[in-house]
Amino acid sequence: MTRVAVIDYGMGNRRSVEKALEHVGAEVKITAEHEDLGNADGLVLPGVGAFPKAMGNLDTLGLPELIRDLVEKDRPLLGICLGMQLLFDTSEEMGGAAGLGLIGGEVTRLAAGAHRVPHIGWNEVRFELASPLTAELPHPGSPFYHVHSYAARPRDPGHVIGTTEYGERFATIVGRGSVFGVQFHPEKSSRHGLGMLRSFVALCAGGAAGSSRVAA
């Protein structure tokens, strides 16, 4: 069975993610132990809350360098919600902080216009590039459940897999090599979210989905 580690750094709905991954066939462990993370076939970085606090928690546990090392070894990583934002270089939230630097770009306040922030609800996500995460989903897009006030701004358009619109059109699925991020909550997004997680687990297992990874 494919082993997926949900990174436990004190922020995020870890149990919901665990149950969803188990539902699609993964053996899941919620952990911050370096050995457990190193032995997993794939990693999920969930997150709810503020970017600077999240990075502070990761630093305290000595996790940023470990995560970068595992990514260098082509270990699949999926960031969810705040976890996606942490993949980027920096965020302006609460005065600003450096991120993991796995995908070039920054995180800034969502330009929602007349819409209420935080953005909470279902939005149709338009698939912009082919990706193993979306290979089994209806095209050209599918609905997913979002809860956020900030949006990631990838420096390279080639890292934008999917977009949605809420006052502005912004990146909501990103990928570079074995690193992926989704701004929405797949574990709360019904069959389409479960389908995406199933594809990620297949990628971790080195299955057919892994043959179409986004280029670095």
Q: Which residues are catalytic?
A: 81, 185, 187
Q: Which residues face 120 on adjacent strands?
A: 147
Q: Could you give the CA distance from residue 203 to residue 75 in angstroms, rounded to a whole number?
A: 10
Q: Which helix (H) or strand (E) holds 185?
A: none
Q: Which residues face 174 on adjacent strands?
A: 160, 181
Residues sharing a CB contact under 8 Å with residue 89, sequence separation 6 or more, in sequence order: 98, 99, 101, 103, 104, 105, 106
**CB atoms near residue 72 (< 10 Å):** 11
- Residue 17 sits at φ, ψ, to 5 deg, of -65, -45
